[in-house]
Amino acid sequence: MRAGPWPGRLHAGAAIAAYAQFMLSSVSSAHSVVGMPFRPQKVVRPRCTVDSGPRQPRIPRMTTASMHGPQGFVNLDKPSGMASRRATDLVGRRFRGAAVGHAGTLDPLASGVLPVAVGGATRLVELLHDADKEYRATVRLGRATDTDDAAGAPLGGERPVTASREDAERALAAFLGAVMQRPPRFSALKLGGRAAYELARAGEDVELEPRPVTFHELAVVGWAPPEMVVTARVSRGTYLRALARDLGEALGCGGHLSALVRTRVGALRIADAVGLDRLGEAGDAALLPVRRAFPELPVVIVPDDKTRREVMAAKPLPLERFAPDGRAPAAGERCLLLDGSGLALFLAECLADESGALRIQPRKRLA
């Protein structure tokens, strides 16, 4: 028989003997089998003998920024005609993989400041919910609607507007301060476990209980009947649609909200807001550090790795272990804990012990 690559014909016994000689020889030395040189192949040894399943893709080394992902707030100028959730999702596409959430829902017809939290900043959305907000509202007098805005169906016919600007200013002044406000029938407030607007759309009779709200500032800045323009600084939970409705009733002609621009939420102002069309162009500059959204909170810097490890374990530490950036927090006051790069690690609280010494207690982890 022919013995594979070896030349000539071999007896079966000779072939077996040659193969045995080959197997017993050292793979590190070059020698011949039946006169033909043998060139040993490089042996590739497995790194691990444990079966770990399919080979995983290589994960690149992370920097501090990529390890924690993006964090901060986008001061978005939401366009009219878009739901707040939709606008937030579009911001989320810019920061792929990061959690996003918005603070203070704007009705689809409204535009203006919509704070969008990214990454760990989503855990601070509640603080912005509590912040004062400013609006510029256009009220259309002489016609009421079932939604209290321009999207609703008219309730009755057109009514004449006989009020003067002075009448409107006096009526508006009556809403200043803490008042009880009846929310619009078409709102997201729950009634029997369902959103009020779902019940209203189904033709059910919806009557929401009045709630306490505060109008800190109100002013008439435009008067061209049947329209008037009002600026307002308000508390959480205030509906400008309801103000337009109630103002129209006070003037005896009915009214609804025809346009609304939110000009400020806390420290975020519309002059600094970025539109969706400029979000890509703005790049990372559109993502504001957490501290920019809460300038009223004291900031303390975590100075070293040892302190950082203890902070990340949520241990209370003496205030002197930190480096205040600006004024130091007082007892009972919340503060932000930042590392040297400006990354917000925790929302913390400054507490006084029995001796009066101040300690920083990490409360809400942000990174």
Whether residue 10 is found in the same domain as residue 117: no
Residue 60, in any domain of the structure = no
Phi, psi values for residue 278, rounded to 5°: -110, 5
Whether residue 243 is found in the same domain as residue 149: yes
Residues 206-213 have a mean pLDDT of: 86
Residue 64, in any domain of the structure = no
Strand partners, 359: 318, 351
Position 285 pLDDT exceeds 80: yes
Residues 102-131 have a mean pLDDT of: 94
Query: Of residues 77, 107, 148, 339, which has the active-site annotation?
Result: 107
Whether residue 109 is found in the same domain as residue 138: no
pLDDT band at 196 (very low <50, low <70, confident <90, very high): confident
* Cα angle value 199/200/201 (rounded, 5°): 90
Strand partners, 100: 118
Residue 56, in any domain of the structure = no
- 253's tokens: 């002609």
pLDDT band at 16 (very low <50, low <70, confident <90, very high): low
Q: What share of the chain is helix, strand, coil (3-state, %, to 5)?
A: 25, 30, 45
What is the span of the domain harbouring residue 339? Answer: 297-365
Give yes or no: 51 in active site: no
Residue 237, in any domain of the structure = yes
**CA nearest neighbour of 290 among 231, 347, 251:** 347
Number of domains observed in the structure of the chain: 4
Classified as helix, coil or strand, 309 is: helix
Angle between helices 240-250 and 165-173 (to 10 degrees): 120
Whether residue 161 is found in the same domain as residue 203: yes
Whether residue 157 is found in the same domain as residue 235: yes
Is residue 322 within 8 Å of residue 336, measured between CB atoms? no
**CA nearest neighbour of 362 among 321, 294, 313, 324:** 313
Strand partners, 288: 73
Whether residue 166 is found in the same domain as residue 272: no
Residue 52, in any domain of the structure = no
Cα separation of 137 and 116, whole Å?
A: 22
Classified as helix, coil or strand, 1 is: coil
Whether residue 221 is found in the same domain as residue 282: no
Residue 213, in any domain of the structure = yes
Whether residue 239 is found in the same domain as residue 147: yes
20-29 tens-digit pLDDT: 555 545 444 4
More confident residue, 68 or 116: 116
Phi, psi values for residue 3, rounded to 5°: -95, 70
Whether residue 150 is found in the same domain as residue 184: yes
Position 14 pLDDT exceeds 60: no
Cα separation of 294 and 131, whole Å?
A: 10
147-181 tens-digit pLDDT: 999 999 999 899 999 999 999 999 999 999 999 99
Cα separation of 230 and 295, whole Å?
A: 28
Residue 49, in any domain of the structure = no
DSSP state of 52: -
pLDDT band at 41 (very low <50, low <70, confident <90, very high): very low
Whether residue 201 is found in the same domain as residue 98: no
Residue 305 CB burial class (10 angstroms; 0-12, 13-18, ≥19)? exposed
Whether residue 147 is found in the same domain as residue 230: yes
Least confident of 55-69, 73-87, 280-294, 328-342: 55-69
**Share above pLDDT 90 across residues of the chain, in percent, rounded to a whole number:** 68
Does pTM top 0.75 for this prediction?
yes
Residues in the chain: 367
Give the domain CATH number at 183. 3.30.2350.10
Whether residue 194 is found in the same domain as residue 253: yes
Residue 53, in any domain of the structure = no
Give the domain CATH number at 350. 2.30.130.10
Phi, psi values for residue 283, rounded to 5°: 60, -145
Position 245 pLDDT exceeds 90: yes
Is residue 348 within 8 Å of residue 360, measured between CB atoms? yes
